[in-house]
Amino acid sequence: MLNFLSTGISLGAAIAVVCSWHRNRSIVWMIVHGTLSWVYVVYFALTRGADEVR
């Protein structure tokens, strides 16, 4: 169970970093959003604009 939990946290951080870079193009924001992990991923999904939807 612990291995699954750490993998999920790592995956969330990776997704957050990619989403943050796509939107902001800033290394500082990538670090902040990677730390927030899944919280930022959910925020990004709820607030993305029409130009960010594929």
Query: For 1-54, how does the pLDDT look when each residue is reduced to its tens digit (9 = 90+)?
Result: 556 666 667 899 999 999 999 999 999 999 999 999 999 999 999 998 888 776
54 three-class SS = coil
Question: What confidence score (pLDDT) does residue 52 get?
Answer: 78
CB 23 within 8 A of CB 45: no
Question: What confidence score (pLDDT) does residue 50 get?
Answer: 83
Question: What confidence score (pLDDT) does residue 49 get?
Answer: 84
Question: What confidence score (pLDDT) does residue 1 get?
Answer: 57
Distance in angstroms between the alpha carbons of the first and the last residue of the chain: 34
